[in-house]
Amino acid sequence: MNSVNIPQLGHIVRIVRGKDSGKYAVIIKVEDQRFVWIVDGDKRRFDQPKKKNILHLELLPYISSEVVQSLSESSRVTNSKLRFVINKVVDQIQSEAQKKGE
């Protein structure tokens, strides 16, 4: 297994099952082999994370060092930083898709 398939703090994910499917989020806590806690800084704020089964998430090959650093220093992340990180990754994914001609 490579590191893309192992959920880690700061991992950017796309939700593939549930009412939020298609949206992006950041992992802020890994509970065990099966469950993680995710937030998006907007609808799902840092103070109210969502517990998700990792089978319902697509782990993207992006890990936010800013989120990891914030969590290690103060054990929290601002919602604005979460939104910024997610928007940066989504923009990157969309520009890569345009380059490929999708």
| Tens-level pLDDT at each residue, the chain (102 residues) | 445 678 999 999 999 999 999 999 999 999 999 999 999 999 999 999 999 999 999 999 999 999 999 999 999 999 999 999 999 999 999 998 888 876
Residue 57 backbone dihedrals phi, psi, to 5 degrees: -125, 145
Structure tokens at 57: 């998430």
Helices (H), the chain: 65-74, 79-100
CATH assignment at residue 25: 2.30.30.30
Upper half-sphere CA count for residue 5 (Cβ side, 13 Å): 2
pTM: 0.91
Number of domains in the chain: 1
Residues spanned by the domain of 47: 3-100
